[in-house]
A and B are shown apart, each in its own frame.
Chain A
Amino acid sequence: MTSIMVVDDDQDLAEMLGIVLNGVGIEVDLVSRGDEAVEVFKNNPPDLVLLDIMLPGLDGIEVCRQIRKQSVRVPIVMLTAKSDTHDIVKGLEAGADDYMVKPFKPSELVARIRTRLRRAGGEISSNLTIGDLAIDIVEHTVSRGGKEIPLTRLEFDLLVALAKEPGRVFTREALLGEVWGYRHSTDTRLVNVHVQRLRAKIEHDPENPTIINTVRGIGYKAGTTGHRG
């Protein structure tokens, strides 16, 4: 059974989240303090973390950073009462995969959680190579010259989405649909921040990317010719 850690200091909201998620067959672990969350995660790693930004003890962004240190793979979805660009970008940069602005619809939350738990590249069984990177879909790993590069699930999904069709230009909206599961969203910050994080991990020179190229005014595409240096 899928288990999710919900970190929110509002007891009622946390309880309500528990009711809703239990209703769709997800096991919920409720934590109300930021510092506690890091401990709980260490002892009993969940499949996904729902994280409020404003928390007592340790704020959500810091919690996010610490959890990322322990697990690269676990999906983290931020819950925020602020739609201000600043907070959201800070959260994404700290390692969150996605965010939800309160108040959200329960159905939306469930859909988002399911997308994050889904395994990428389901329809592809073979392995992919892009540039000098080898992507193992089954093992969910990316390696360069036999050395594994740790990526978050979302970063992996993003890379696979681009690498599946090298040379195809993906608009940011298309990537939002493909990777995040949004039918309509124009919040391109999600894409921009994650592409930057991904580049920082896989590019030889993140300033002059060769694997994930920017197509000005449109979006991104995976480079067809690899850089071997």
Chain B
Amino acid sequence: MFVPRFFRRSLFRRVFLVSGFISIGIIYFLGSNLYGRITDGIINEKINASISEAQSAIQYADYRFIVTGVSSEKDYRSLISEIVKTSNLSARESGREVVLLQSEDRELRGIPAVSTSNFLEPSSIPADFREIVRESDQLIWRKTNLLYVNGESLNGVVIGTLLSLPNVGKYEMYVLFGFDAQQRTIDLIGRSMWGTGLLLIALIMIVASLVLRRVIRPVKYAAEIAEQLTSGDLSKRMEVKGEDEVARLGEAFNEMADTLEQQISRLENLSRLQHRFVSDVSHELRTPLTTIRMASDVIHSARDGFDPNISRSAELLVSQIDRFENLLSDLLEVSRFDAEVATLSLDQIDANLLVRRCVEDLEIASKGRATQFHLSCPADPVMLEADSRRFERIMRNLLANAVDHSEGKPIHVTIKENEAAVSISVRDYGVGLSQPQIERVFDRFWRADPSRSRERGGTGLGLAIAKEDAMLHGGVISVWGELGKGSNFVITLPKVSGIAFSDFPLSEIPTI
């Protein structure tokens, strides 16, 4: 069912409207039922009274015809007009009309076939009703409309029977009663019922809205507090008054908020503690590591005079200390991200310059393996606001990753910018990545192929850290890869840190 937004959004409006409709329905049903019963009662009463009155009038007329025993046309005429008139006069307040009709609609002996009182139209008596009366020797009644010559029309009842006029023949005598007075009573009752009904509905609506407001206010209040809690204000609580259901709602709500606050602060503490621990451990490790490093350097620099095995051991010692140190600083960095204490120190940076320097450094470091880099960048400086240390680390990690997986093939680095963002793509043509591998590529300590040795001795945290670094700037790293065809990593950073952008200068899907 279609519910307009206006009602969907508010419990109050919905309940108010539904209860309004239901009470209107009930009041309408009860009212019309009652009205019908009262109307029927009044009308039936009137009909009964009318029947007995008509009976006596007809008996009287019958008696007069017989007793008078008149035979002359003149007598009849006066008698008929007397009966018709008398009936009328004697019962004016009951609105009685009398009609005398010749059964065959013929004028017999100068007596009119139709005599009515008070300009009543003879058509007030339906033809089929006349049929029934003519066939019967009983008193018959039916509801009808009293029609007058002046076009007036009244609800009423017609009662009729067949009379035998001595020496003349069969006549039908009808006595008609209007429901005028009854109709007035009924109308009055109807009007007062309408008034009462409307008043009742208005009252119900008012009461409903008052009750609803009282019930919904705490619900609305709870919703507001819950929203504030969600937005991070954990100290918000509901005010609790009394001992009713609303108060219980408040208490339960507050308990929930307490538990939530405790849990969150516990977790926050935990993550702070964990970060502290990792940070302390790594700091504690740094001092001995410095001593080891210096000692190993002293040994290393004197290795020429050693036995070949010891000399080689000194070399291994130095390289492994490097690796250990990298791992340590990466771990510390990761723990900073986890504890959300990583901060940006922003500067205006020329991406061209920074990327070129990273590439040059790597070319120097990877001499001997001779990985070729092709750098294409705009002629003008590509300025953006970034944390230079982090930006550089992202680039180093992406480039080192590419070198590791390029299998000696050249690596293409492209820089491109638009109004809001700068993209740098690092494309290699080496082993490549499958779709499931792409999904895991930023996982910590994950390796695409565990059987492959790490030539550069990376920590396995490089890409994970690069991703976090990018996210800290409000940027993203997107990846494309296909097994055997290589991979393409695109880092896109906003020109103003933290400002969202929708257009990417470069897509991760490579053109070459």
Name A's B-contacting residues (CB within 8 A): 10, 12-13, 16-17, 19-20, 23, 81-83, 85, 101-107, 172, 184, 186-189, 216-218
A218 to B353, CA, bound (A): 12
A216 to B347, CA, bound (A): 10
Chain B residues, Cβ within 8 Å of A102: 286-287, 289-290
Q: Report, nearest first, the 4 A-B pairs whose CB atoms are least far apart.
A: A217-B348, A103-B290, A186-B388, A81-B286
Contact yes or no, A81 B389, CB < 8 A: no
Contact yes or no, B283 A82, CB < 8 A: yes
The verdict on B363 contacting chain A, using a C-beta distance below 8 Å, is no
Given contacts A82-B283, A216-B348, contact A186 B289 (CB under 8 A): no
Contact yes or no, B293 A105, CB < 8 A: yes
Contact yes or no, A103 B343, CB < 8 A: no
In the assembled complex, the CB of A163 is this many whole angstroms from the nearest CB of chain B, namely 24
A102 to B287, CA, bound (A): 6
Chain B residues, Cβ within 8 Å of A186: 354, 388-389, 392
In the assembled complex, the CB of B271 is this many whole angstroms from the nearest CB of chain A, namely 17
Contact yes or no, A16 B283, CB < 8 A: no
Given contacts A186-B392, A217-B383, contact A17 B294 (CB under 8 A): yes
Contact yes or no, B283 A81, CB < 8 A: yes
Contact yes or no, A103 B325, CB < 8 A: yes
Question: Taking CB as reference atom, which chain B residue is nearest A107?
Answer: B297
Contact yes or no, A188 B291, CB < 8 A: no
Contact yes or no, B348 A10, CB < 8 A: no
A11 to B389, CA, bound (A): 32
The verdict on B295 contacting chain A, using a C-beta distance below 8 Å, is yes
A104 to B329, CA, bound (A): 12
Contact yes or no, A12 B291, CB < 8 A: yes
Contact yes or no, B383 A10, CB < 8 A: no
Interface secondary structure of B, over-half rule: helix
In the assembled complex, the CB of A222 is this many whole angstroms from the nearest CB of chain B, namely 20
Chain B residues, Cβ within 8 Å of A184: 357, 361
Contact yes or no, A188 B347, CB < 8 A: yes
Question: Taking CB as reference atom, which chain A residue is nearest B284?
Answer: A81
The verdict on B231 contacting chain A, using a C-beta distance below 8 Å, is no
A101 to B290, CA, bound (A): 9
Since A104-B290, A105-B297 are in contact, a sample of 16 more A-B pairs with Cβ atoms closer than 8 Å, ordered by chain A residue number, is A10-B288, A13-B287, A13-B288, A13-B290, A13-B294, A16-B295, A23-B298, A103-B286, A106-B294, A107-B297, A172-B347, A184-B357, A184-B361, A187-B389, A188-B347, A217-B348
Contact yes or no, B293 A106, CB < 8 A: yes
Q: Which of B289, B291, B343 has the most CB of A within 10 A?
A: B291
Please name 30 pairs of A and B residues whose Cβ atoms are closer than 8 Å in the assembled complex, sorted by A.
A10-B287, A10-B288, A13-B288, A13-B290, A13-B294, A17-B294, A20-B297, A20-B298, A23-B298, A81-B284, A81-B286, A81-B287, A85-B343, A102-B287, A102-B289, A103-B289, A103-B292, A103-B293, A104-B290, A104-B293, A106-B293, A106-B294, A106-B298, A184-B361, A186-B354, A186-B388, A188-B347, A188-B388, A217-B383, A218-B348
Contact yes or no, A16 B294, CB < 8 A: yes
In the assembled complex, the CB of B303 is this many whole angstroms from the nearest CB of chain A, namely 15
Chain A residues, Cβ within 8 Å of B453: none
A189 to B343, CA, bound (A): 14
The verdict on B150 contacting chain A, using a C-beta distance below 8 Å, is no
Chain A residues, Cβ within 8 Å of B294: 13, 16-17, 19-20, 106
Chain A residues, Cβ within 8 Å of B290: 13, 16, 102-104
CB contact between B291 and one of A10, A81, A187 (< 8 Å): that residue: A10
The verdict on B235 contacting chain A, using a C-beta distance below 8 Å, is no
Contact yes or no, B298 A19, CB < 8 A: yes
The verdict on B511 contacting chain A, using a C-beta distance below 8 Å, is no
The verdict on B345 contacting chain A, using a C-beta distance below 8 Å, is yes
Question: Taking CB as reference atom, which chain A residue is nearest B325?
Answer: A103
A23 to B295, CA, bound (A): 12
List which B246-285 residues lie within 8 A (CB) of chain A.
283-284
List which B446-499 residues lie within 8 A (CB) of chain A.
none
A107 to B296, CA, bound (A): 12
A218 to B289, CA, bound (A): 37
List which B66-99 residues lie within 8 A (CB) of chain A.
none
A106 to B295, CA, bound (A): 9
A105 to B295, CA, bound (A): 10
- Flag B351-389 by CB within 8 Å of A: 1 or 0 each: 000100100010000000000000000000001000011
Chain B residues, Cβ within 8 Å of A172: 347
A189 to B347, CA, bound (A): 10
Question: Taking CB as reference atom, which chain A residue is nearest B391?
Answer: A186
Chain B residues, Cβ within 8 Å of A187: 389
Chain B residues, Cβ within 8 Å of A20: 294, 297-298
A40 to B291, CA, bound (A): 24
Given contacts A106-B297, A186-B388, A188-B388, contact A85 B289 (CB under 8 A): no
List which B17-41 residues lie within 8 A (CB) of chain A.
none
A83 to B289, CA, bound (A): 15
CB contact between B345 and one of A101, A189, A216, A217 (< 8 Å): that residue: A189
Chain A residues, Cβ within 8 Å of B354: 186
Chain B residues, Cβ within 8 Å of A10: 287-288, 291
